[in-house]
Structure 1
Amino acid sequence: MKRVFLIVLDSVGIGEMPDAADYGDAGSNTIRAAASSPYFSMPNMRKLGFFNIDGVEIGEKEKNPSGSFARMTEVSKGKDTTIGHWEIAGIISNSPLPTYPNGFPQEILDEFTKRTGRGVLCNKPYSGTDVIRDYGEEHMKTGKLIVYTSADSVFQVAAHEDVVPVETLYEYCKIAREILTGENGVGRVIARPFVGTPGNFTRTVRRHDFSLQPPKVTMLDQLCGHGYDVRSVGKIIDIFAEKGIKEYVRTTGNEDGINKTIEYMKQDFEGLCFTNLVDYDMLYGHRNDVEGYAKALTYFDERLPELLAAMRDEDILMITADHGCDPSTPSTDHSREYTPLVMYGKPIRAGVNYGTRGCFSDIAATILAYFDIKPECAGEAIPIL
């Protein structure tokens, strides 16, 4: 019974790509930033070969790695969650998704207001925690929705749960998703509910993403089409707009995501379990919290033996990332970086450095090859068997 467990450590980049300067990210290196903290410790990932990956400048290299590994190159035009995950799944995006450094066009906001019956506040790129601090009180007084964006292709709507019930906020975001198509087709519309009082607002775990449908066939579609299970943990279901996924669970954070991945590992199925662990990006990268980022990586490493112990004879574990988000730079946005790929399992050859791969989609091609499926998507299979 063949199974692949693909875990995305969201934003754990391993050093700037050659075109990083084009994205404003020269010098970015997320893993190096996290490793500068005394709270950083990843001995179990080291044993698998993480520090042996080309270009990784931290940690002690393992003489006899129990896993195999590679450095992954993003070729899509972008550095956001949607583009990164789509490329992992076999879609190369030759054009970037639209971004709005000056806010959204008035005609979009007018249509949104018309259909929701609520006005709009902000309409600027903003930090998610800062925007509720600065606009939360006015939102509570007026009922207007806080609409903001970032350097990524996102239309974010924040609302206090006492002013706009969460399910209603989701409906408003579905309306925005219907409006934002064509040249204004942002990667994600994100519901950002919050609670609290002025001066003490906090975001809740009831965030929900409404993504574009992937424009082409992905490895998820192909696996489903050949009768295999595709299960997702965390926001994968949202990133792929439910396309090519048979079963899913959402999560409240990394701990919950790891727990639910292990629960799936204990179940009988044949196919793929695709997990996103979002805390690195959401809680620490975007907030420039080096220590928090380091602690989160250390926590994953401490839980890694549980994942390895739950593996069966035909299981393969793949650990990768979708972009960078260097918490030590002045920017709070994603960074254009190489990502790691660490692989482990009885079916694969151990201790092999597969160098720097041509695109993230090599992961998709490798997974499909393991299930003897000819890829209809991008990527070249890594000869891991």
Structure 2
Amino acid sequence: MSRVIWIVLDSVGMGEAPDAGDFGDIGCNTLGHIMEKFPSLKIPNLKSLGLGNIDGMMGIDPVEKPLASFGRLTEISAGKDTTTGHWEMIGIHTKTPFPTYPNGFPEEVIKAFVTKTGVPGVLCNSVASGTEVIKQFGDEHRLSGKPIIYTSADSVFQIACDESVYSVEQLYEMCEAAREILVGEHGVARVIARPFVKDIIKGYVRTPNRRDFSLKPDPENLLTEIMKSEYMKQEEGRILRKKQSVYAVGKIEDIFAGVGISDAVHTVSNDDGMVKTLEALDIVESGLIFTNLVEFDSTWGHRRDVVGYARGLEEFDVRLGELMKKMGRIGDKKSDDILVITADHGCDPTFKGTDHTREYVPFLIYGKKIYQGHNLGTLPTFADAGATVGELLGIPGSTKIGESHFMDLYTF
């Protein structure tokens, strides 16, 4: 194989997982409930791949001849957050959940943060909505210079600062300091920079300069195995051995703290992520193009914006059509590229609260040499996706957990 394009539709779940009750998520269904609200949603490319053919899919009609193989994935790790979901995809089983702070961070953490960064104190230190917290504390932050510290139901330490008070670079330095503090029993999954500005008309609004500072994953994973692997290339009459690459698009680099990433580009929106994924096809010769489309989660899921979520799916589908077309022929050569589409958890915008939801996620695999219309059924772990991607790239046994379905999918 030469290349796999793996797109994670952040939070696009497809119905409550078997253990949803353990997470308070009985009745959640991100895709199903969006389709209930918008039954005529225009997603022809996703439908043509077989999204509606997946077992248990609600609200999307199956097609007679799906272009892709398809199934759904079950999460086994102890969490429903971005880090846990992505780590499981590449073969890391998180058995102990990352710590959360429903009552805010303890005094020793805040004191260490203030001492290490030299800031004059902090504001908030509680569970809060990211858009509301800057409205509530924005003025005081600008007057006092105290960063706004808040968390959510996820394992996150979030730092919000006005870019006119602290530059983006200074905010990132604060996050790096916090990351050094937040280890061991307080080892949150992510420290997140949340820069904002004051707009004359809209008031306080976030900027696209968010950045995540994650814990480092187990170095034995799919991504590092890909980077160690080689492919053969003919140049000037000689056969050369070259390393495969992992090209990260969006917040993938942040989620894995750079581990197993050879090149990365950050994005400001889903559409920017798809544009950069299309551009990556002209850059990456062999290996994995790994893309996260975060707006489904951050912009629409957590804010319970059903209309925005539905519109985002339609916009993605248009770009998906462009990607499928470009995959079929790169330059003047026919392409053997393989497309994989999954999600990392749910975030049902019709459900209670604003938290992620414990759901099955779709698994679509498409390419010239992939069987069309093969139903993989319900798979027991997200890691089955990673194990399959590894073998598609010529690396069997690339993950500690998960089973490859290469033999079920690939037409020799």
Q: Which residue of 1 aligns with 2:278?
A: 262
What does 1:226-375 correspond to in 2, within 5 Å? 226=229, 227-312=243-328, 313-373=335-395, 374-375=397-398
Alpha-carbon distance, 1:268 to partner: 4.8
Q: Which residue of 2 aligns with 1:102?
A: 103
Alpha-carbon distance, 1:183 to partner: 1.0
The answer to whether 1:208 aligns with 2:184 is no
CA distance in 1, matches of 2:41, 2:146: 42
Q: Which residue of 1 aligns with 2:142?
A: 140
Deviation per CA, 1:209-239: give whole Å up to 9, x if none: 1000002411000000112111010000000
Alignment counterpart, residue 121 of structure 1, candidates 108, 123, 135:
123
Letter in 2 for 1:37: K
Letter in 2 for 1:207: R
The answer to whether 1:380 aligns with 2:403 is yes
Aligned-residue identity in percent: 51
CA RMSD of aligned residues (A): 1.3
CA distance in 2, matches of 1:292, 1:44: 19
CA distance in 2, matches of 1:365, 1:278: 23
Letter in 1 for 2:154: D
CA distance in 2, matches of 1:331, 1:30: 13
Letter in 2 for 1:243: V
Letter in 1 for 2:217: P
Does the aligned pair in 2 maintain the 1:266–1:310 contact within 8 Å? Answer: no
SS in 2 for 1:147: strand
Alpha-carbon distance, 1:112 to partner: 0.4
SS in 2 for 1:36: helix
CA distance in 1, matches of 2:218, 2:187: 12
Deviation per CA, 1:137-196: give whole Å up to 9, x if none: 111111111000000010000000111111001000000000000111000000000000
Q: Which residue of 2 aligns with 1:192?
A: 194
Alignment counterpart, residue 223 of structure 1, candidates 226, 230, 239:
226
Does the aligned pair in 2 maintain the 1:91–1:216 contact within 8 Å? Answer: no
CA distance in 1, matches of 2:341, 2:85: 14
Letter in 1 for 2:96: S
SS in 2 for 1:311: helix
Alpha-carbon distance, 1:267 to partner: 3.1
Count of aligned residue pairs for this structure pair: 385
Q: 1:223 to 1:19 in 2, by over 3 A?
A: same
What does 1:20-31 correspond to in 2, within 5 Å? 20-31=20-31
SS in 2 for 1:310: helix
The answer to whether 1:8 aligns with 2:8 is yes
Q: Which residue of 2 aligns with 1:57?
A: 58
SS in 1 for 2:354: coil
Letter in 2 for 1:15: G
Alpha-carbon distance, 1:48 to partner: 0.6
Which of the pair has more CA radius of gyration? 2
What does 1:161-176 correspond to in 2, within 5 Å? 161-176=163-178
Q: 1:133 to 1:268 in 2, by over 3 A?
A: closer
